[in-house]
């Protein structure tokens, strides 16, 4: 692993958490433009410093991560601090992205939070079996979205970073 892997959060590390107010880069994988805009607007209202990189399909998300891996061999890249992943999308399921992340050694420590409108217990179980860090229901309204992004920032801005 290259030295810039210190950009990837890990609860097991002895390194310091991010400083208060640090901007977290979120890779948001969701085919719904409405959900993308909802989360970004909720962040502004919650005054949480998330920077968003958005892809609208599993295929594009995997391509983005593969590109980061290739570029990282020669240049330091900014890795996502958190991946927010929808499951039900046209084409491949978001679970395929989760499988790809957990099967790729350089990506395994990236935290993945599933956001889904589906609450089927079998789907929740499958997401955790594949390595999701959390499974949350998509918010029903804007107020819930603001609370949710605020809670996400509180948790993930405190995440410890690996030192190598």
Q: Is residue 114 part of a domain?
A: yes
- pLDDT tens for each residue of 78-114: 999 999 999 999 899 999 999 999 999 999 999 999 9
As a whole number, mean pLDDT of residues 11-20 equals: 37
Enter the pTM of the model: 0.82
As a whole number, mean pLDDT of residues 139-154 equals: 92
To the nearest whole percent, how much of the chain has pLDDT over 90? 63
User: Residue 162's pLDDT band (boundaries 50, 70, 90)?
Assistant: low
Instruction: Report pLDDT for 161.
Output: 55
Domain of 47, CATH number, reads 3.40.50.2300
Q: Is residue 20 part of a domain?
A: no
Q: Is residue 129 part of a domain?
A: yes
Instruction: Report pLDDT for 1.
Output: 35
Q: Is residue 116 part of a domain?
A: yes
Q: Is residue 153 part of a domain?
A: no
As a whole number, mean pLDDT of residues 67-72 equals: 95
Residues 144, 9: Cα–Cα separation, whole Å: 25
Instruction: Report pLDDT for 21.
Output: 61
Structurally, the chain folds into a number of domains equal to: 1
The answer to which of 63-67, 129-133, 156-160 has the lowest mean pLDDT is: 156-160
Cβ partners under 8 Å of residue 44, min gap 6: none
Residues 78, 113: Cα–Cα separation, whole Å: 19
Q: Is residue 76 part of a domain?
A: yes
Q: Is residue 10 part of a domain?
A: no
User: Residue 122's pLDDT band (boundaries 50, 70, 90)?
Assistant: very high
Instruction: Report pLDDT for 140.
Output: 85
Q: Is residue 109 part of a domain?
A: yes
Q: Whole domain around residue 78: which residue ranges?
A: 40-84+94-144
In whole angstroms, how far apart are CA 121 and each of 35, 126, 127, 150?
22, 9, 10, 26
Instruction: Report pLDDT for 17.
Output: 40
- pLDDT tens for each residue of 34-60: 998 999 999 999 999 998 899 999 999
Q: Give the chain as a 3 state SS string.
A: CCHHHHHCCCCCCCCCECCCCCCEEEEEECCCHHHHHHHHHHHHHHCCCEEEEEECCHHHHHHHHHHHHHHHCCCCCCCCCEEEECCCCCCCCHHHHHHHHHHCHHHCCCCEEEEECCCCHHHHHHHHHCCCCEEEECCCCHHHHHHHHHHHHHHHCCCECCCC
Adjacency order of strands within the sheet including 112-116: 50-55, 24-29, 82-85, 112-116, 134-137
97 phi, psi to nearest 5 deg: -65, -45
């Amino acid at each position: 692993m290259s030295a810039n892997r210190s950009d990837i959060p890990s609860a097991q590390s002895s390194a310091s958490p991010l400083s208060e107010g640090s901007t977290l880069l979120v890779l948001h994988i969701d085919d719904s433009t409405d959900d993308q805009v909802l989360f970004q607007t909720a962040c502004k209202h919650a005054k949480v410093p998330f920077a968003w990189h958005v892809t609208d399909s599993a295929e594009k998300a995997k391509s983005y991560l593969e590109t980061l891996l290739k570029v990282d061999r020669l240049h330091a890249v900014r890795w996502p601090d958190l991946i927010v992943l929808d499951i039900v999308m046209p084409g491949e399921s978001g679970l395929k992205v989760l499988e790809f992340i957990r099967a790729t050694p350089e990506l395994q420590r990236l935290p993945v939070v599933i956001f889904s409108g589906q609450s089927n217990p079998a789907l929740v179980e499958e997401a955790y079996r594949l390595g999701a860090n959390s499974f949350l229901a998509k918010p029903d309204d804007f107020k819930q979205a603001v609370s949710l992004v605020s809670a996400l920032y509180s948790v993930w801005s405190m995440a410890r970073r690996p030192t190598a």
